[in-house]
Chain A
Amino acid sequence: MATSVIIFKTILLFVIFLISLVIAMYSTYAERKVAAFMQDRRGPNRAGPIGLLQPLADGIKMFMKEEIIPWNANRTLFILGPSIAMTTACLTGVVIPWGSDIVINGTVYSLQIADLNIGILYVFAMVSIGVYGIMIGGWASNNKYSLLGAIRAASQMISYELAMGLSIVALVLVTGSLSLKDIVIQQQGIHWNIFYQPLGFLIFLICAFAECNRAPFDLPECETELIGGYHTEYSSMKLGFYLFAEYVNMFISSAVIATLFFGGYNMPFIHHLNISANWLTLIGTFFFFIKILLLIFFFMWVRWTLPRFRFDQLMNLGWKGLLPLSIFNVFLTGLIILLKNYF
């Protein structure tokens, strides 16, 4: 690879890392504002104009609190837990196509750091390793309640990964490739996958809520209010990492949903504007971020509408509801493709 491409990819890496951190940071602010507005109140509006410096205040607060590591806790694993959660949350952003190509002086720079031909599988692999972060955190706390919370969280995430994977199988049947770039390229104009895979979209959305430990599936978090969850014993920056990793996960999940089902950086009718390809790329990336932000708002909207599920209801939904449904979805997709080829 030419050195200019390597330099570009390095810069892009830093930019995407920074963007995901900043968006996660302001997601915390947006969460509080959205929650407040839906509850007929105003939310934080004192730190800075309309409260925009609130995440900064929260970050400073996190830094300045006392770091407590329980006496009998396993020190290495205690520190490793949030680190794994944060790392895997950030690693997933590498394969997402943030835009199409920028052409400068004949060299083609693609706005995707790594165009793996197994893109979707990589995303799933990272999400699965993220479960380890929670499990290790719960175990290393040397606290029965943390362990129980962590086990519940892990079993929830594992159960919903199955249905998620199967809904992706149906999508791959339609697309024919696992690479995220190919999936986006095939969604030119208005041919977004949500119109071809509505059931798959629904299943994937519900599983994304469960994977991020959010919305009606936030049992790991709620146990924090009741007895303890996997982050009871954590304080200061390690707790900050856990909470922040959850928001980065939410951002990345929204990006993945936008890529798979909403056409990624494609927007209908922008090809009718006769402007250069580089500008089209930038407009596409802008619309991609609009889609991501709307999806993040949707995540928050659902969270503040629904009461949380009981653990057995959650498990029933995952294994007895979504898994058969996604298998049926695969079957139906295959049948339709077969019949389309036949006629």
Chain B
Amino acid sequence: MTFWEWIYLPAIISGMFITIKHFFGKKTTISYPEVKREFSEIYRGLHVLKRDDEGRERCTACGLCAVACPAEAITMVAAERLPGEENLYREEKYATIYEINMLRCIFCGDCEEACPKEAIFLTNRIVESGFEREPFVYGKDVLLEPLDKDKRIDISKRQPKEVIEFKKNKKFAHNK
């Protein structure tokens, strides 16, 4: 150890120069909520239960998303489609109660990958904060997308090109 290292003071002074440089430098904090961070196009946020082109709900309450969920955040109650409801639901079984506990959800997207009916997707909407726990169990009123064609939620960014091509082919029963 040289003499200058041994007395430690030059190292202290050089360290203090570095610190004061950071003091006057640019800060990396993002002042949320005035400034929001940019998200990527495929950011995984709030879920949406999609409808098909005719406005029928795609979800058939098969439960694969609930099984796939690593945080066990999804629960559902299934029901049978009554004869007058063919325009509401695609198949004979549908979910009357579909709940995702947003405090348990880790936004991994496993439910979206597991769904065989392309019913659930993650959008880039952020889940708003709150003070109590109960309001965070989101039901179909929040998750299901609106019937109105203008208000549908665009999830084309979350589907790869092959899937979009597949969906254009009306011969497959999945797409009818």
Q: Name A's B-contacting residues (CB within 8 A).
A: 34, 37-42, 45, 301-302, 304-306
Tell me if B28 and A40 are in contact (CB < 8 A).
yes
Tell me if A306 and B12 are in contact (CB < 8 A).
yes
Tell me if B25 and A40 are in contact (CB < 8 A).
yes
Tell me if B19 and A41 are in contact (CB < 8 A).
no
Residues of A within 8 A of B25 (CB): 40
Tell me if A41 and B29 are in contact (CB < 8 A).
yes
Tell me if B22 and A39 are in contact (CB < 8 A).
yes
Tell me if B23 and A305 are in contact (CB < 8 A).
no
A88 and B65 alpha carbons, distance in the complex (Å):
65
| CB contact under 8 A between A34 and B27, given known A302-B16, A305-B12, A306-B12 | no
Tell me if A38 and B29 are in contact (CB < 8 A).
no
Q: Which residue of A lies closest to B14 (CB)?
A: A305
Size class of the B contact interface (CB-based, 8 Å): 10 to 19
Tell me if B19 and A304 are in contact (CB < 8 A).
yes
Tell me if B12 and A42 are in contact (CB < 8 A).
no
Q: Which 9 pairs from chain A and chain B are nearest by CB?
A: A42-B29, A305-B19, A305-B15, A41-B29, A37-B23, A38-B19, A40-B28, A305-B16, A38-B23
Q: Which residue of A lies closest to B24 (CB)?
A: A37
| CB contact under 8 A between A38 and B31, given known A302-B16, A306-B15 | no
Q: Does B20 contact A (CB under 8 A)?
A: yes
Tell me if A42 and B31 are in contact (CB < 8 A).
yes
In angstroms, how far is the closest chain A Cβ from the Cβ of B13?
10
Select one of A34, A42, A45 contacting B23, CB under 8 A. A34
Residues of A within 8 A of B16 (CB): 301-302, 305
In angstroms, how far is the closest chain A Cβ from the Cβ of B36?
16
Residues of A within 8 A of B29 (CB): 40-42
A201 and B31 alpha carbons, distance in the complex (Å):
42
Residues of B within 8 A of A39 (CB): 22
Interface of chain B: mostly helix, strand, loop or mixed: helix
Q: Which residue of B lies closest to A41 (CB)?
A: B29
Residues of B within 8 A of A301 (CB): 16, 19-20
Residues of A within 8 A of B26 (CB): 40
In angstroms, how far is the closest chain B Cβ from the Cβ of A158?
23
Residues of B within 8 A of A41 (CB): 27-29
A45 and B27 alpha carbons, distance in the complex (Å):
13
In angstroms, how far is the closest chain A Cβ from the Cβ of B10?
13
In angstroms, how far is the closest chain A Cβ from the Cβ of B153?
33
A38 and B27 alpha carbons, distance in the complex (Å):
9
Q: Which residue of A lies closest to B16 (CB)?
A: A305
A42 and B20 alpha carbons, distance in the complex (Å):
15
In angstroms, how far is the closest chain B Cβ from the Cβ of A173?
25
Residues of B within 8 A of A45 (CB): 31
Residues of A within 8 A of B31 (CB): 42, 45
Residues of A within 8 A of B19 (CB): 38, 301, 304-305
Residues of A within 8 A of B20 (CB): 38, 301
Residues of B within 8 A of A304 (CB): 19
A301 and B15 alpha carbons, distance in the complex (Å):
10
Residue contacts A-B, CB under 8 angstroms, 20 given: A34-B23, A37-B27, A38-B20, A39-B22, A40-B22, A40-B25, A41-B27, A41-B28, A42-B27, A45-B31, A301-B16, A301-B20, A302-B12, A302-B16, A304-B19, A305-B12, A305-B15, A305-B18, A306-B12, A306-B15
In angstroms, how far is the closest chain B Cβ from the Cβ of A266?
27
A264 and B29 alpha carbons, distance in the complex (Å):
39
A47 and B39 alpha carbons, distance in the complex (Å):
28
| Binary contact readout B18-49 vs A (1 if CB under 8 angstroms, 0 otherwise) | 11101101111101000000000000000000
Residues of B within 8 A of A305 (CB): 12, 15-16, 18-19
Instruction: List 9 other contacts, CB 8 Å, given A37-B23, A301-B16, A304-B19.
Output: A34-B23, A38-B20, A38-B22, A40-B29, A41-B29, A45-B31, A301-B20, A305-B12, A305-B18
A305 and B12 alpha carbons, distance in the complex (Å):
8
Residues of A within 8 A of B23 (CB): 34, 37-38
A101 and B23 alpha carbons, distance in the complex (Å):
39
